[in-house]
Amino acid sequence: MPDVERDLEEAVTELLGKLLGMVFRQVDWRHVARGRSKLDVFQHRLLVAGYQPDFDRAFEKLCSGLSLQAPHIDIQLLEELRRHSSLALKVWREKSRLLTYLAWKNASQAKAMKEEGGEGGCPSTGTSSS
């Protein structure tokens, strides 16, 4: 794979990790996981959503599967992923474990920042996502 393609794939993977971290953080895990591992449930929902024909439908399916009606997300981040939607969906389908880890890591970092008094909310709306 040429360097430019690899760099773009890495950038899309990082952006997906951030977006999915925003989603992960907003899930009511007591209701969704019901005693199961958060990471297992998230990865399973991610895999199921990946079968959708396009990125927007996959994102909607993921949110629906996690009982999120209107998640607070960074719209600019979503628009950037839409510009590379076919690559984003390819990464989504092929790297679910990595994306699950990145989502968990980004959600954990955002939570830690908020607890330290930093900005842990949604950058596009300025609202908290807890």
- Per residue, the 3-state secondary structure of 60-94, as one string, reads HHHHHHCCCCCCCCCHHHHHHHHHCHHHHHHHHHH
| Contact call for residues 58 and 94 (beta carbons, < 8 A) | no
What pLDDT is recorded for position 113?
A: 79
Nearest residue to 16 (alpha-carbon basis) of 126, 68, 90: 90
Domain residue extents for the chain = 3-115
pLDDT tens string, the chain, 130 residues long: the values are: 688 889 999 999 999 999 999 999 999 999 998 889 999 999 999 999 999 999 999 999 999 999 999 899 999 999 999 999 999 999 999 999 999 999 999 999 887 877 777 554 544 434 444 4
Q: Dig out the tokens for 91 from the structure.
A: 């990464």
What pLDDT is recorded for position 129?
A: 42
Q: How far apart are CA 120 and CA 101, in angstroms?
A: 19
